[in-house]
Amino acid sequence: MGCFTFIKVMMILFNLAIFLGGATLLGVGIWVTVDGQSFLDIFGALSSSVLQFMNVSYFLIVIGSILLVIGFLGCCGAQKESKCLLMMFFTVVLIIFIAEIAAAVVALVYTGLAETLLTALVTPILREKYGADTTVSQIWNTTMTEVHCCGLNNYTDFTGSPFYEKDKTYPGPCCKNVEPCDDALAAKSQVPGCFDQILEEIKTNAGVVGGVAAGIAALEIAAMAVSMYLYCKLDEK
């Protein structure tokens, strides 16, 4: 088996695995969207928290679709020795790679701007809908309980919300679940906002996050290099 054939076979197998993984994620995402109750019945209460916190069905559909396209282009491009499909595969992976780098740069450089934008977008939603909209309330209750935080910035994000106006109290997590959670107790508890708490969790696990990101980047670079190698070799055949 020559070098070209070996790399071609590895390219096919690697992208076949990506294709199958993408199809699985897409299928699960569609299943959760169409029949979420069956998913909850099978996987239990933990799945309910995850679904509320991440809106995971749409996340799985998007990621699954992307992996499906990448796997299809890479696998078919290598198997059929199609320069067009290989170039499309290279382009898609390159776009994703650039988008990831851009997102990382924005996250590092514009953290303060992100907080300002999120505050402008999220705080009005909390003050208008928390306590009145069941979905919004459940998502934030799960987030605050799991992350041990209160609001986006602090407990004052809930001031004026339907929940607060009812009894002049804040959600339990804002007072470490001590009731009644009034203004004085919420201020004394000093529970951090979810934005700062999530940033702190990321910093705490920076090594793991960096390792995973580096691994994904290495795979993407390797995939682009292999696809370009096959593309160039086809010119010589």
Q: What is the pLDDT along the chain (237 residues), one digit of tens a residue?
A: 577 788 888 888 888 888 888 888 888 778 777 766 665 555 554 444 444 444 567 777 888 888 888 988 888 888 888 888 889 999 999 998 898 888 777 767 766 666 677 777 788 888 988 988 888 888 888 888 888 899 888 999 999 999 999 889 999 999 988 888 999 999 999 999 888 887 777 777 667 767 777 888 888 888 888 888 888 887 666
- Residue 159's Cβ-count burial label (10 Å; 0-12, 13-18, 19+) is middle
Q: By the 8 A CB rule, do 118 and 195 touch?
A: yes
Please give the C-alpha separations between residue 112 and each of 83, 117, 126, 205, in angstroms, as whole numbers.
44, 9, 20, 20
231 CB-near residues (< 8 Å, 6+ apart)? 83, 86, 87, 90
pLDDT, residue 162, reads: 92
- The segment(s) of the chain belonging to CATH 1.10.1450 are 130-199
The whole model's pTM is what?
0.61
Residue 90: name the closest of 216, 228, 234 by CA: 228
Residue 24 CA, distance from chain mean position:
17
pLDDT, residue 45, reads: 45
pLDDT, residue 46, reads: 45
Give me the CATH code for the 130-199 domain, please: 1.10.1450
pLDDT, residue 35, reads: 67
From CA 153, how far away is CA 111, in angstroms rounded? 14
Please give the C-alpha separations between residue 121 and each of 27, 37, 83, 116, 118, in angstroms, as whole numbers.
32, 30, 45, 9, 5
pLDDT, residue 54, reads: 47
pLDDT, residue 11, reads: 86
